[in-house]
């Protein structure tokens, strides 16, 4: 009878686990999505309650101010959580990555709060300020499409949040920063010290946006959808596509990442849901 050597199976798995545990980027992504859990749970329950109340009001033709206002209340909670989950991911991923980088000796001048705020600003550099951005012939209506704030923009938010912090950390290690006297309060020092790195990061994202638009894409979200999602959708919506999605989710879960949230943020078709 052939004996199965469990030790040989465990060794590569333990090595992979140790590599994931020591990888700064993967740890930051993992922590970022863990921090979004309470918001997604609250948002999911709020939407569920609102759906049930709306169905009750419609089916029973109830004209009750209390029920209507209660439904509206849970709708507000859903919009404030799942409705802005991409922005939550931007903040969470940027802060998580900044904290991880801060632990390294060469990043002692990195301020995680400033890095997080920078990531938020960098994300809006990439967002079209036109509600009708998908239709070039439509009238320009200033505003932001909610597709950039919900699940559809989550993966884009993750990318921008991580890259902006990585660039910020790199530029804070540069010699081209504003020097301040040693007796200056720390918060004032951090603000002036970060001026040049912040400007450099935002300029880079501005140039990236111009390049993306010159390639014919209206946004980074659309480019990611076309480059990463359309090939997947070309496989079909049947068993092959489902297996690919499930496989991607399980690989991400194995790495300690929230597989469903990441893949769903990528897979959900892009669209303009405006308000």
Average pLDDT, the chain: 81
Say which residue, 148 or 49, is predicted with more confidence: 49
CA 100, 123, 210, 195 torsion: positive or negative? negative
Say which residue, 63 or 121, is predicted with more confidence: 121
Q: 159 and 167 in contact (C-beta within 8 Å)?
A: no
- Tell me the pLDDT tens digit for each residue of 124-143: 999 988 877 777 677 777 88
Q: Which of 113-122, 148-157, 176-185 has the highest mean pLDDT?
A: 113-122
| Spatial CA neighbour of 220 closest among 164, 165, 174, 142 | 164
Say which residue, 261 or 230, is predicted with more confidence: 230
pLDDT at 1 over 50: no
- Tell me the pLDDT tens digit for each residue of 177-217: 888 777 788 888 888 889 999 999 999 999 999 999 899 88
Q: 112 and 32 in contact (C-beta within 8 Å)?
A: no
What confidence tier does 230 reach under pLDDT thresholds 50, 70, 90? low
pLDDT at 235: 56
Per DSSP, the chain holds a count of helices (H) and strands (E) of 12, 0
Q: 192 and 178 in contact (C-beta within 8 Å)?
A: yes
- Tell me the pLDDT tens digit for each residue of 6-60: 666 666 666 666 666 677 888 888 888 889 889 989 999 999 999 999 999 888 8
pLDDT at 177: 83
pLDDT at 249 over 60: yes
pLDDT at 270: 40
Q: 97 and 162 in contact (C-beta within 8 Å)?
A: yes
Burial class from Cβ neighbours inside 10 Å (0-12, 13-18, 19+) for residue 118 reads buried
Tokens of 162: 């991580």
User: What is the rounded average pLDDT of the residues 78-97?
Assistant: 93
What confidence tier does 264 reach under pLDDT thresholds 50, 70, 90? low
pLDDT at 275: 38
For the chain, the straight-line distance linking the first and the last C-alpha, in angstroms and rounded, comes to 67
154/268 Cα distance (integer angstroms): 10
Domain boundaries, the chain: 24-267
pLDDT at 62: 84
pLDDT at 20: 63
Least confident interval from 24-28, 153-157, 222-226: 222-226
What confidence tier does 274 reach under pLDDT thresholds 50, 70, 90? very low
pLDDT at 87 over 70: yes
Least confident interval from 4-13, 95-104, 113-122: 4-13
Q: 205 and 126 in contact (C-beta within 8 Å)?
A: yes
Instruction: Give the global pTM.
Output: 0.79
275/269 Cα distance (integer angstroms): 18
168/209 Cα distance (integer angstroms): 18
């Amino acid at each position: 009878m052939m004996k199965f050597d469990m030790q040989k199976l465990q060794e590569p798995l333990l090595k992979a686990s140790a590599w994931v545990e020591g990888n700064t980027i993967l740890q930051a992504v993992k922590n970022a999505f863990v921090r979004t859990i309470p918001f997604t749970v609250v948002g999911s329950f709020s939407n569920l309650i609102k759906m049930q109340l709306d169905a009750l009001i419609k089916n029973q033709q109830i004209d009750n101010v209390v029920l209507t206002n209660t439904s509206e209340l849970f709708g507000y909670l859903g919009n404030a959580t799942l409705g802005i989950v991409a922005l939550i991911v931007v903040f969470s991923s940027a802060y998580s990555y900044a904290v991880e980088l801060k632990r390294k000796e060469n990043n002692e001048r990195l301020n995680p709060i400033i890095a997080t705020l920078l990531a938020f600003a960098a994300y809006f550099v990439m967002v079209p300020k036109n509600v009708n951005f998908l239709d070039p012939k439509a009238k320009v209506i200033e505003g932001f499409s909610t597709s950039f704030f919900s699940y559809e923009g989550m993966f884009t938010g993750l990318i921008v949040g991580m890259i902006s912090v990585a660039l910020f950390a790199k530029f804070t290690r540069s010699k081209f920063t504003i020097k301040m006297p040693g007796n200056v309060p720390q918060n004032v020092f951090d603000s002036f010290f970060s001026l040049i790195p912040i400007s450099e990061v935002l300029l880079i994202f501005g140039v990236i946006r111009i390049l993306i638009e010159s390639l014919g894409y209206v946004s980074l979200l659309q480019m990611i959808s076309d480059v990463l999602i359309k090939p997947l959708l070309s496989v079909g919506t049947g068993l092959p596509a489902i297996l690919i999605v499930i496989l991607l989710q399980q690989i991400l879960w194995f790495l300690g990442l929230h597989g469903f949230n990441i893949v769903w943020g990528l897979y959900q078709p892009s669209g303009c849901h405006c308000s």
